[in-house]
Structures are given as C-alpha cells and as structure tokens.
Structure 1
C-alpha cells in the first residue's frame, strides 16, 4: 500500500463528556503516514482534549482511537523543571529510554538549541522552552508526533525552523498532528487542515480546497459593474460578487483579464484593489468567532494560505 495512504492514526466517533459538558462530539479524523495535519480552533474548542484522547491519557466517553506506530506527545504545560539545564533535562529522559548522550546532542541540534544546552530552563525564552519540549518528544525518533500548540511563543525564525522540521519528518515517512489557534501559523507545514469549533469538526480537507472555498479577490470600481460581471461570466469567470458599495469582488480572474473584459464590454475601470483573505479571517468564519483585529506576531499575509497560487 502507498505510504501516503497508510493511516498513522485514526479516530472514529470520538466523544468526551466532563459531567454534563461535551468537550468533543463525534470526531472522525485520519492522519496518513508521511503527512502533517493541523487541528485548529479557538481556545476551548477541544483541541487538547482530542490530543489527550489520542495519546491514551484520557478515555473517551465513546468512540475509538487507532495509532499505527510509536507516538509521542508534547502537551501544555510542558513539564520542564526550571532548575535543570536544557542538556540535563534531556539526559534524564534519554537515560529513561536507554538512549546515549549523543542522541541528546543530536536533538538539541535539530531544534537549534546547541548554544543554549548549558542554560537553566528558567533562563530560556518561551520559544526556547517550546523547542526543548519538542526535543524531548524527538529523543527516540517516534513515527507519530502529537504536538499541542507547538508554535506557542515562537518567533518567525523559530516558526520556520519548526515548519522545516515537520516537513522533513513527513518526508521520512513520519506523521504529525499539531494543534493551534492560528490557521496562518500552521498552514506552511500542513497537508491537511481540521478545524474544530465547540467540540465538533467544521472543516476537514487540504489547504488547497480551503483556498478554493475562500479565494482572494480583486475589488473593482467600474462604471457599469453589471456589464463587467456579465462579460467576465461569458469568459468563464463566474465568481463575482456585488458589494453594498457597488464594487465587484472578483475571484480567479487577474487584473489584466478584468481590464480586457472591461474593454470588450465598454466599461470604464476606476480602480482595482487587492483583497487577500488572511487565513485567520477564514478560521473566524468557520468557528463563528470574532475576526482577529491584528495578524498574530510573526505571521505575514503575502501568501495567505501558505501555498502557491
């Protein structure tokens, strides 16, 4: 069987109640070997509960979990002793699973903490602590990674390093399921997106399909917008939405194609403005939460879905 289609983990009908409260309800998900999946949703959506159920740290009220291969999880809080050095923390875990100190140095290199190995954990920046927790998970080179909020506290450089690490892990046949509250932060590493809202899945699919469902647009002020929309539709560009101010919001067509259609229709173009849709605006719509007032630190919008157009 193709490794890309072999399941690394799967959940079916996963439900968890805490008293009368349903934290997650009927979750179905599959992560294939050689892929990275992002479980994204606002605070309280049930993401950490799902990870704990997958790791066997909590038992589901109903439903089943299947893990194919050794799995390791990074949860919050990270479980780091503030008085230990980064290297001593890892040596303790390595000794518990009978790994040599050389492996400690290797994982410090993987997460970029070689120069901070002798620093006490209480002196590490938040992003460095997250990377140390990740190094702990990587010690015995598990096939399946379950990472809770791995981008928490990371600066843009650290975020890019983690994207690269996850992609390399997937290329070697491993898999990962990571959680987060920012769709934009996770997309560059994700083959699959699962959006969770109030304990239920509201979207599951590829970033490409998500982009098709929520495209960037060009907003056009034209002398006769209906005539322009009619001409564009005749040329196959049917996704044009009239806004309340009379401008057309057009998907798929380029500026040159819009201007060419306007000439053919005898329509004057007064202005064309780009309206890229930031992924976290999409997330807000899928989870019915407030649209973020600002882009999260370190997340830039030029490629809104983290993939080529």
Structure 2
C-alpha cells in the first residue's frame, strides 16, 4: 500500500556481480523534509544502490521501497520519484523544450509542465536550442528538469553538480533546500564534500557496500571535537596550567605539538601567558566533513 510518506527505505540490500559484492547488507532510511547526502568512495556502491532503488538493477538480496512500495509497484512512478543518474540520453538535434514535451506526454502531465520545469532549472531562454549545443552544466540542468516534469515527491540525484559552474552549484544548493523545505525528500550523492556540508541535513555514508554512518551532519561533527593545536616552549608546563582550569583532554602530537580539546585559542593563549610559557604556533583545528569522511571510510573504521 502506498503510504504517501515520501520515505525511502533500504533494508539488507545486497548486489553481487560474480565474485564482487558491490553492495553488502546495506540498510538506511531517507526521511522527507530534509536533504540527505549519500557519500562514499568511488566503487563503494552508491550508483548501484540508487539503481536498485529505481528498479534498474535487481538486488541479490534485500529490498528498497519508496512510500512503502517497490519502485515497480508505484502506480505513477514519475509523479512520485524524479531521478538523475547521468546527464545523457538526449538527442543532440532535438531542442530541450521538445525533449521535455515528449517526457511530459510520456508521464501524462500537461505540456505546461515542460515550460515550468525549464523555468525552474534556469533554461527558459535556452529551451529552443538543440541540446547538442549545450554545455555539460546545461545538460545537468536539463536532466534535472526531466526529473521535475512529473512534480515528484522524491528526488534521487547522482552527482548532480557535475559540470556546474560556481553560480550553478549555488543555485542547485538553494533549489534542493527549498525542495526539501516543502516536505519532500532529497537523496543526493556527491563527491563535492564541501558542497554537501553546506547543503545536507543528514548523511548516509557507505564504504565497501556497507553503511558506516547514518545520522545528522551536526551529530557527526559534534562526535569529533575540534582542537587547538599548540607548539610551545614547555608542553608539560602548559598542560599542567590548562588542567588547573579544567582542560584535561590534551594529547602530545608529532614534533611536540599539543592537541587540546574543549577550549578555544583565546583561553589557551591566556593560560600560556599566565604560566609564562612561550607559544611559537597555534592553530584552531576545524573538523571538516572531508576529514570525517576519510575517517569513516578508512579500513579500520569499516571493520569495526
């Protein structure tokens, strides 16, 4: 039964290609009303997973459901799910408008939906041009327009930022957040980790076909506390002085640097001054999504 929730669920999903396990017992849930980033190294199984969700690849085991149904069971799939897996498949001599008119007819929506989709992705003025004249970024926008023709509840996007210039990436970020703010569902895979950090509310991170993290971006960032890195004349003396102020999470790093958690550079500097310890260098280490991603997908994390 179609529960109309907009929820995407993946349960114990596996896919083997001969001896290769592309996806291995993968489970996660994508909720409506948020942008969920789908991350993983090349070859981790992201595209294969999206193809199984869309019924393009048959799972070896497990299942994927949208609104409680397998994709093949959806009565009007284009009205429920819009997907962009690659910006290809356009006839180079056909105009973007003609292509979208054909898509609108195929999914049973009025011709006006083609014009609306072109306007939404910023191609209204270029809709009469042959797609063969389009840049890669324009083809990416056209692929997204095709996904939007049916006014879907769910968007599944595989690397939608490929070929977009900085203005296009900023536009895509704003569009995805606005789409999710309407109570709709967005699952977007990307290798642009900095952009995901600015766009996504939640993350699903996979490695070797398995889920290694599922949750909010904020929770992940808070689980890895930022540190102040200090190089000074007397690390032991500074550590003792900091401990007297309640700062005890202090590690000795390479070349005598101290890694100090639970404080900020101003406090460390004040304590060092009061203790008479000369400071030669200080860096406020910010935990970037890129660092967290590499930690999560490293072999030692995956095997835990």
TM-score by length of 1: 0.85
1:57-102 deviation line (CA, Å, top 9, x unaligned): 2221111222118122211253222221111111110122232332
Whole-Å separation in 1 of the counterparts to 2:116 and 2:240: 61
Query: Hey, what does 1:49 align to over in structure 2?
Result: 48
Verify the 8 A CA contact 1:7 1:30 in the aligned structure 2: no
Query: Hey, what does 1:174 align to over in structure 2?
Result: 184
CA 1:189–1:86 in structure 2 vs 1: closer, same or farther (change >3 Å)? same
Query: Hey, what does 1:255 align to over in structure 2?
Result: 265
Query: Hey, what does 2:157 align to over in structure 1?
Result: 147
1:5-61 deviation line (CA, Å, top 9, x unaligned): x66111111111112211101111001111111111122110001101111222211
Q: Give yes or no for the alignment of 1:202 onto 2:212.
A: yes
CA 1:71–1:235 in structure 2 vs 1: closer, same or farther (change >3 Å)? farther
Query: Hey, what does 1:22 align to over in structure 2?
Result: 21
Q: Give yes or no for the alignment of 1:74 onto 2:63.
A: no
CA 1:125–1:212 in structure 2 vs 1: closer, same or farther (change >3 Å)? same
Verify the 8 A CA contact 1:8 1:32 in the aligned structure 2: yes
Verify the 8 A CA contact 1:33 1:175 in the aligned structure 2: yes
267-276 vs 168-177, which moves further = 267-276
Kindly name which structure, 1 or 2, has the bigger radius of gyration based on alpha carbons. 2
Whole-Å separation in 1 of the counterparts to 2:149 and 2:142: 11
3-state SS of paired residue (1:249)? strand
Note the aligned Cα RMSD (angstroms): 2.1
TM-score by length of 2: 0.86
Whole-Å separation in 2 of the counterparts to 1:84 and 1:236: 69
Verify the 8 A CA contact 1:14 1:24 in the aligned structure 2: yes
Whole-Å separation in 2 of the counterparts to 1:24 and 1:141: 30
3-state SS of paired residue (2:255)? coil
Shift of 1:230: 3.5
3-state SS of paired residue (1:201)? strand
Whole-Å separation in 2 of the counterparts to 1:113 and 1:216: 42
Query: Hey, what does 2:94 align to over in structure 1?
Result: 84
Residue in structure 1 matching 2:276, options 266, 271, 281: 266
CA 1:191–1:218 in structure 2 vs 1: closer, same or farther (change >3 Å)? same
Verify the 8 A CA contact 2:87 2:140 in the aligned structure 1: no
CA 1:245–1:31 in structure 2 vs 1: closer, same or farther (change >3 Å)? same
38-47 vs 62-71, which moves further = 62-71
Query: Hey, what does 2:73 align to over in structure 1?
Result: none
Whole-Å separation in 1 of the counterparts to 2:148 and 2:109: 12
Query: Hey, what does 1:97 align to over in structure 2?
Result: 107
Gaps of 5+ in 2: 69-79, 300-304
Residue in structure 1 matching 2:140, options 120, 124, 130: 130
Query: Hey, what does 2:35 align to over in structure 1?
Result: 36
Query: Hey, what does 1:297 align to over in structure 2?
Result: none
CA 1:242–1:75 in structure 2 vs 1: closer, same or farther (change >3 Å)? same
Query: Hey, what does 1:184 align to over in structure 2?
Result: 194
Aligned residues: 284
